[in-house]
């Protein structure tokens, strides 16, 4: 008999709620990578990503008893993580928006548009460009272009109407296209 | 379709999310419009670059800390956290143990012989009740022992003393910036001293009802007294308080050094039971300047 991931999650959560604390570690094992990567892409640095990841799991720990099994746990957790990340970024002290991609890149590497970039440098450029997006655009780009979630899945996770998801993605991609165009040749290397 | 209509649909076009009719119209437009063709190329390139980011591994210390969340026992709220949050810190402490002993001796001399070293940046008014002789060798002890900064007369000191029975928040939480270089023993002495000075200061009820107010005061004082942005510490402090999992309130923060590394020293009082019960326990956390990595922990 094959147990689906969703069934496994439900079973794990029930174990945890009946007193098996180790079951929470199983949830951490399954979802820490998603949450950490989301946190990193939203904040752009290790320190904030580490802090945000821990806060999300602490929040999950508090809220787990309220999971009603009405949707897949993964969708519920992603929604919780996305909403928590947005609230976290709203706080004045956590603002990480960068107004100009060049500000984020040039001081360190002295990289100029058109210069052939190494893969690691490209990743830094792309991360900096993502940080120039609004929080909502950032989330859609991360979920769709980085994680590969469909429009419908993103609707479930974010709670936004499909038209909003599409338009945010379109605006985000247009902005990224302009920001990254001078550096795009690095990919062809 | 004009260029603006095309722009709005390029994203869905890349994802193959358009109907056949719309797709045909865009194909037709792109054949005649190099400008939109260029936009499409740029967008495809950008999407490809985002997809190239790949997946990051979770740092080991973060992963370790996450596995401690569910096991953070009520009776030992932060003990587990210390064990789980940053295991590398224990190695650091162990590795520095021998040096730390020598450092303690050295620091004791420095502290006693140069009492004014931290006085210049210390902002909190002098307080009565600093244990003499056996207290931690921190700013209060330095001040008490300094010939040039003699303790204020009783009448003056009374103005600033947090009277245990008054449950008065001011001057708590106390915030100072110092040049002091703590080690584990000095941190333990500080904890004992702050615990003594904040005995019966707050109740379980205070921690529940005044937590926001106390934290706001703390943040404000961090900004005004240490020259750093206090707001940056709000989240780490809340995280420490939350992980205590009991009624808890911060009572002391010091910007200092721990084994020569910049740090925050945080003392939290906590307790449980009825609303009138005192926050009878105290814990000290020494964190890195971000507040997220733990250098040292002890509870009293």
Rounded percentage of chain A residues whose pLDDT exceeds 90: 59
Q: Report whether B50 contacts A130 (CB < 8 A).
A: yes
Q: Which of B39, B49, B239 sits opposite A54 (nearest CB)?
A: B239
Secondary structure (DSSP) of A120-168: HHHHHHHHHHHHTS-HHHHHHHIIIIIT---HHHHHHHH---HHHHHHH
d(C-alpha B201, C-alpha B189), whole Å? 19
Are residues B242 and A47, on separate chains, in Cβ contact within 8 Å?
no
Residue B226 CB neighbour total at 10 angstroms: 21
Are residues A21 and B47, on separate chains, in Cβ contact within 8 Å?
no
Q: Which of B8, B53, B236 sits opposite A51 (nearest CB)?
A: B236
pLDDT at B268: 94
Same domain, A58 and A127: no
pLDDT at B47: 95
Residues B28-69: tens digit of each pLDDT: 999 999 999 999 999 999 999 999 888 899 988 888 889 888
Q: Report whether B207 contacts B279 (CB < 8 A).
A: yes
Residues B270-289: tens digit of each pLDDT: 987 777 888 988 999 999 88
Residues B92-127: tens digit of each pLDDT: 444 455 455 444 545 444 443 333 333 333 233 333
A166 has a chain B CB within 8 A of its CB: yes
d(C-alpha A22, C-alpha A145), whole Å? 34
Q: Is A55 left (phi over 0), alpha (psi -120 to 50) or beta?
A: alpha
pLDDT at A84: 94
Same domain, A41 and A116: no
pLDDT at B158: 34
Q: Position of tokens 């953070």?
A: B72
DSSP β-ladder status, B247-258 and B174-182: parallel
Instruction: List all residues 6 or more positions away from B217 whose beta carbon is below 8 Å from its beta carbon.
Output: B169, B170, B173
pLDDT band at A96 (very low <50, low <70, confident <90, very high): low
d(C-alpha B46, C-alpha A126), whole Å? 8
Are residues A145 and B71, on separate chains, in Cβ contact within 8 Å?
no
Start-to-end C-alpha separation, chain B:
73
d(C-alpha A55, C-alpha A38), whole Å? 13
d(C-alpha A67, C-alpha A178), whole Å? 41
- Domain range summary for chain B, segments of one domain joined by +: 3-51, 77-299
Same domain, A32 and A111: no
pLDDT at A2: 62
SS3 B229: coil
Which residue does chain B place closest to A172, by CA atoms? B11
Q: Which of B12, B14, B49 sits opposite A122 (nearest CB)?
A: B49
CA neighbours closer than 13 Å in the CB half-sphere of residue B216: 5
Same domain, A74 and A24: yes
Please say which residue of A65, A94, A123 terminates a domain.
Answer: A94
Q: Report whether B79 contacts B160 (CB < 8 A).
A: no
pLDDT at B219 over 50: yes
A51 has a chain B CB within 8 A of its CB: yes
pLDDT band at B152 (very low <50, low <70, confident <90, very high): very low
A103 has a chain B CB within 8 A of its CB: no
Residues in chain B within 8 Å Cβ distance of A50:
59, 61-62, 292
Rounded percentage of chain B residues whose pLDDT exceeds 90: 31
> B209 vs A114, which has greater pLDDT?
B209
Instruction: List all residues 6 or more positions away from B148 whose beta carbon is below 8 Å from its beta carbon.
Output: B115, B116
Residues B188-198: tens digit of each pLDDT: 999 999 999 99
Start-to-end C-alpha separation, chain A:
47
Residues in chain B within 8 Å Cβ distance of A177:
39, 42-43, 45-46
> B76 vs B27, which has greater pLDDT?
B27
pLDDT at A183: 81
pLDDT at B154: 36
| ipTM score for this prediction | 0.85
- Structural domain range at position A79: 5-94
Residues in chain A within 8 Å Cβ distance of B49:
122, 125-126, 176, 180, 183-184, 187
Same domain, A13 and A70: yes
- Residue A158 CA, chain-centre distance (Å), reads 12
CA neighbours closer than 13 Å in the CB half-sphere of residue A165: 21
pLDDT at B14: 94
Please say which residue of A64, A94, A124 terminates a domain.
Answer: A94
Same domain, A9 and A82: yes
Q: Which of B55, B61, B243 sits opposite A33 (nearest CB)?
A: B55
Same domain, A77 and A108: no
Same domain, A90 and A107: no
Are residues A181 and B47, on separate chains, in Cβ contact within 8 Å?
no
Q: What is the mean pLDDT of chain A?
A: 84
Same domain, A155 and A181: yes
Q: Report whether B70 contacts A16 (CB < 8 A).
A: yes
Residues in chain A within 8 Å Cβ distance of B264:
none
Are residues A119 and B52, on separate chains, in Cβ contact within 8 Å?
yes
Residues in chain A within 8 Å Cβ distance of B10:
170, 173-174
Residue B261 CB neighbour total at 10 angstroms: 12
Q: Which two tokens stand for residue A32?
A: 């820490």
Distance (Å) from the C-alpha of residue B137 to the closest C-alpha of chain A? 32
Strands of the sheet with B247-258, listed across from one edge: B174-182, B247-258, B261-271, B281-287, B294-299
Residues in chain B within 8 Å Cβ distance of A28:
63, 66-67, 69
Residue A165 CB neighbour total at 10 angstroms: 24
pLDDT at B10 over 50: yes
Residues in chain B within 8 Å Cβ distance of A93:
229, 231-232, 234-235
Lowest mean pLDDT among A46-60, A66-80, A108-122, B141-155: B141-155
**Chain A residues 109-148 with CB within 8 Å of chain B:** 119, 122-123, 125-127, 129-130, 141, 145-146
pLDDT band at A108 (very low <50, low <70, confident <90, very high): very low
Q: Where are the alpha helices (DSSP H) in B129-248?
A: 139-145, 154-160, 184-197, 204-226, 231-244
d(C-alpha B221, C-alpha B227), whole Å? 9
d(C-alpha B144, C-alpha B161), whole Å? 15
d(C-alpha B95, C-alpha B91), whole Å? 6
Distance (Å) from the C-alpha of residue B251 to the closest C-alpha of chain A? 22
CATH code, A180:
1.10.10.10
Q: Specify which of B130-139, B156-165, B205-214 reaches the highest per-range mean pLDDT.
A: B205-214
pLDDT at A93: 55
B33, burial (CB in 10 Å: exposed 0-12, middle 13-18, buried 19+): middle
Q: Position of tokens 């005061």?
A: B217
pLDDT at A38: 96
Distance (Å) from the C-alpha of residue B171 to the closest C-alpha of chain A? 25
Residues in chain A within 8 Å Cβ distance of B242:
58
Count of the separate structural domains present in chain A: 2
Q: Report whether A137 contacts A175 (CB < 8 A).
A: yes
Residue A3 CB neighbour total at 10 angstroms: 9
Q: Report whether A40 contacts A52 (CB < 8 A).
A: no
Q: Which of B63, B232, B239 sits opposite A32 (nearest CB)?
A: B63
Are residues A166 and B243, on separate chains, in Cβ contact within 8 Å?
no
Are residues B235 and A40, on separate chains, in Cβ contact within 8 Å?
no
> A186 vs B131, which has greater pLDDT?
A186
Residues B153-175: tens digit of each pLDDT: 333 333 333 334 444 457 789 99
Residues in chain B within 8 Å Cβ distance of A119:
52
**Chain A residues 64-83 with CB within 8 Å of chain B:** none
Q: Position of tokens 């009946």?
A: A18
CATH code, A35:
1.10.1740.10
CA neighbours closer than 13 Å in the CB half-sphere of residue B175: 22
Q: Which two tokens stand for residue B4?
A: 């603006």
């Amino acid at each position: 008999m094959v147990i689906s991931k969703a069934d496994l999650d439900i079973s794990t959560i029930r174990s945890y709620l009946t007193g098996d604390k180790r079951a929470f570690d199983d949830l951490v094992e399954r979802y820490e990578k998603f949450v950490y990567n989301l946190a990193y892409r939203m904040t752009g640095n290790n320190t904030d990503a580490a802090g945000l990841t821990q806060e999300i799991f602490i929040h999950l720990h508090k809220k787990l008893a309220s999971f009603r099994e009405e949707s897949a746990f993964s969708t519920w957790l992603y929604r919780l993580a996305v909403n928590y990340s947005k609230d976290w970024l709203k706080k004045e002290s956590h603002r990480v928006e960068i107004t100009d991609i060049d500000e984020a890149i040039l001081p360190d590497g002295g990289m100029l548009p058109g210069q052939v970039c190494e893969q690691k440098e490209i990743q830094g450029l792309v991360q900096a460009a993502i940080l120039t997006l609004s929080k909502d655009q950032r989330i859609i780009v991360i979920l769709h272009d980085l994680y590969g979630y469909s429009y419908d899945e993103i609707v479930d996770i974010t709670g936004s109407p499909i038209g909003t998801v599409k338009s945010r993605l379109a605006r985000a991609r247009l902005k990224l296209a302009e920001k990254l165009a001078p550096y795009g040749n690095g990919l062809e290397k | 379709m004009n260029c603006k209509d095309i722009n709005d649909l390029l994203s869905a076009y890349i994802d193959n999310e358009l109907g056949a009719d719309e797709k045909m119209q865009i194909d037709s437009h792109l054949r005649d419009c190099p400008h939109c063709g260029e936009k499409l190329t740029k967008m495809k390139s950008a999407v490809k670059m985002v997809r190239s980011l790949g997946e990051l591994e979770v740092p080991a210390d973060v992963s370790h800390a996450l596995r401690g969340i569910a096991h953070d026992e009520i009776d030992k709220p932060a003990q587990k956290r210390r064990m789980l949050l940053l295991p590398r810190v224990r190695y650091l402490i162990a590795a520095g143990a021998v040096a730390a002993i020598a450092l303690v001796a050295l620091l004791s001399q420095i502290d006693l012989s140069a009492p004014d070293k931290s006085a210049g940046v210390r902002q909190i008014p002098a307080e009565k009740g600093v244990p003499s002789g056996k207290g931690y060798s921190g700013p209060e002890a330095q001040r008490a022992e300094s010939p040039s900064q003699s303790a204020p007369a009783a009448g003056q000191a009374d103005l600033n003393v947090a009277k245990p029975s008054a449950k008065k928040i001011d001057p708590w939480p106390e915030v100072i910036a110092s040049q002091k270089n703590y080690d584990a023993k000095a941190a333990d002495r500080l904890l004992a001293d702050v615990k003594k000075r904040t005995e019966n200061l707050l109740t379980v009820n205070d921690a529940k009802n005044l937590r926001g107010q106390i934290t706001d005061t703390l943040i404000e004082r961090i900004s005004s007294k240490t020259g750093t942005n206090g707001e940056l510490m709000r989240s780490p402090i809340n995280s420490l308080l939350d992980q205590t999992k009991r009624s808890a309130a911060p009572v002391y923060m010091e910007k200092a050094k721990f084994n020569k590394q910049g740090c925050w020293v945080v003392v939290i009082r906590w307790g449980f039971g009825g609303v009138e019960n005192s926050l009878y326990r105290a814990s000290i956390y020494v964190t890195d300047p971000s507040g997220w990595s733990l250098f040292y922990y002890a509870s009293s």
